[in-house]
Amino acid sequence: MKSGFFIVLALTVFSYVSQAQTTKTGVVVIGNGNSAVGAGIQSAVSGVKTTLILSTQDFQLSALGNSQASGIEGEILKRIKGNAGQVLVDYSTVGTVVRSWTDTLKNLTVIRGAGLLKIKRSGSGWNIELTGGKIIKAGVLVNADRTGTVSNALQLPKVPLQWKPFNYDDYLYRASVASGYILSGGSASFLLMDKLMLPGQENLIVLNPDQESFVAGQAAGATAAYAVFFKTKISLANLKLIQGELLNYKLSLAPFADVNNADSNWKDIQVIGLSGFLKAEISNGTAYFRPDQEVLSVEIKEPVKSYYYKAQIWFDDHKEEKMTINNTLKMISYVAGLSLENTIKEVKKNWKKGYNFSTEYDSDRVITRREFAVLSRYLKPFNVNLDKTGKVVR
C-alpha cells in the first residue's frame, strides 16, 4: 500500500520507572476484532507509531462480507490467493493474512495476551498499565474493545450505532469517512467522523462493538494518526485531509456497489460521489453510480452551481438537455478559468492511456458519467471548503 500524508514519527522511546517498562507510542488501540485491526493498520501505515493491545493471544476476527470490500478489507481479499470474486471469507483465512501483514508493519507493535490493570488520562494523552509491569503512554486511544473492560474502566456511556443510510436528504454524505457497511441487507451506508467521538472526551476514539468492521476501524485509525502527527485534538481534525488519506488507501467514502477500487477511475468517481455532482441511484438499500449512463444537464446544474459562482453564469447561458463532451469541456474551462484550446488538447492526448477510457473521443457525443467524473478533476471539487454538515463554505 502507498505511503500516506503522515511521515514516520520518532522511534519509540523506552525508559524504566519504578521497575516498570514504559513505552511511548502515538496511538494505542485496544481490541482484537476487525475494527481494532483496521484502526491499528491504518494508523501505522499513516506513519504514526501504533500499539495494538490484544487481551487474547491472537486476533478474534469475523468473516469478511459484512461490508463492501475496500481499503484494508479489499487489500486482505487481494492477499488471499484466488479470491478475486469471492464475497465471504472465513475468519481463519482472514486471521492468517492479518497476522502476516501486521508482523511486517514497522510502525505497529502488537501486544498479545495483555491484562489491563489501569487506564487513565495523562495530560492530553493516556497512561495504560498492563499485567507484567508494562506501561503504555499514548497520545490518542482507540477503544475497539468488545468486552466492555475499557468502557467500564473509564465509565464511558454506551456507544450509539454509528452508521447512517446513504441518502441525499441533506449534505452529510459529503462528510463521509467510510462507507459500505451492510445495514438492513443493503450496503448504501456511510460513517461520519463525529460519530467516532464522544462529547467531552478528547483524544478518545470509540467504535461500536455491535457494528464490527475493518472499514470503520480504518477511518478511526486515520483520525487518530492525524491528531498525533499534527499534535492537535481529534475534535480539531481536518476532514478533508483525513478523507484524502483514506482515499489514498483505497477506502470507499461513497458506497457505489458497481465501481470497486480496482477500477482505474475509482478515485475520480469517489470524488464526484462526495461532491454530489452526479448522484447514485439507490435501489433496495444499494447505491449504483451507473458509470456508463449519459449525463443530463439538469442533474449536474444545481450541484455544480452550488460549488462555483461562475457556473451559475454558464448554465444560465446554456440550456442544452444533455451534456456533450464539447459542452462539458467548455463549462469546465470557463468555470476553472482554463484555456479551452489547451484543455481540449490535453484531454485528447490523455483520453485512452491517461484516463483509461474504452470509449472513443467524439466531441459531439453525450458524455458518460465516468467520463464526466474524470474530466471534473480540472474543477478540483475536492478542494472546495465544506462545513461539518457538508455545506459549501464561501
Cβ neighbours around 271 below 10 Å, total: 24
Percent of the chain at pLDDT > 90 equals 87
Evaluate if pTM is beyond 0.75.
yes
* Angstrom distance (rounded) from CA 34 to CA 27: 17
Grid coordinates given for 23: 513505552
| 6: amino acid identity, one letter | F
Q: Which of 234, 84, 257 is nearest to 181 (CA)?
A: 257
The residue-averaged pLDDT of 115-142 equals 96
181, β-bridge pairs = 67
pLDDT at 64: 87
Cβ neighbours around 174 below 10 Å, total: 24
Q: Cα–Cα distances in Å, from 51 out to 81, 221, 295, 382?
A: 29, 11, 48, 32
Pairing of strands 176-179, 189-192: antiparallel
pLDDT at 83: 53
8, β-bridge pairs = none
Grid coordinates given for 178: 467510510
Helical axes 325-336 vs 309-317, angle rounded to 10° = 140
- Per DSSP, 386 falls in state B
Q: How confident is the model at residue 15 (pLDDT cuts 50, 70, 90)?
A: very low
Higher-pLDDT residue of 10 and 293 is: 293
129: pLDDT strictly greater than 90: yes
Q: Cβ distance 269 to 288 under 8 Å?
A: no
Q: How confident is the model at residue 4 (pLDDT cuts 50, 70, 90)?
A: low
Q: Which of 65, 7, 75, 87 is nearest to 37 (CA)?
A: 75
| Residue 94, CA atoms < 13 Å, CB-side half-sphere | 23
pLDDT at 17: 36
Per-residue pLDDT tens over the stretch 252-268 = 999 999 999 999 999 99
pLDDT at 88: 63
372: pLDDT strictly greater than 90: yes
* Angstrom distance (rounded) from CA 54 to CA 303: 46
Per-residue pLDDT tens over the stretch 16-69 = 333 469 999 999 999 999 999 999 999 999 999 999 999 999 999 988 888 999
Average pLDDT over the chain, rounded to whole? 92
* Angstrom distance (rounded) from CA 278 to CA 381: 12
DSSP characters for 48-94?
Answer: --EEEE-SSSS--PPPB-SB---HHHHHHHHHSTT-SS---B-HHHH
* Angstrom distance (rounded) from CA 253 to CA 154: 31
pLDDT at 101: 96
pLDDT at 20: 64
228: pLDDT strictly greater than 50: yes
* Angstrom distance (rounded) from CA 35 to CA 39: 6
Higher-pLDDT residue of 87 and 258 is: 258
* Angstrom distance (rounded) from CA 225 to CA 203: 11
pLDDT at 90: 82
Per-residue pLDDT tens over the stretch 279-332 = 999 999 999 999 999 999 999 999 999 999 999 999 999 999 999 999 999 999
Beta strands in 180-317 (DSSP E): 189-192, 204-206, 281-283, 286-288
9: pLDDT strictly greater than 80: no
Percent of the chain at pLDDT > 70 equals 93
The residue-averaged pLDDT of 183-190 equals 95
pLDDT at 18: 39
174: pLDDT strictly greater than 80: yes
C-alpha triplet 136, 7, 48: angle, nearest 5°: 20
CA dihedral of 216, 270, 390, 211, whole degrees rounded to 10: -20
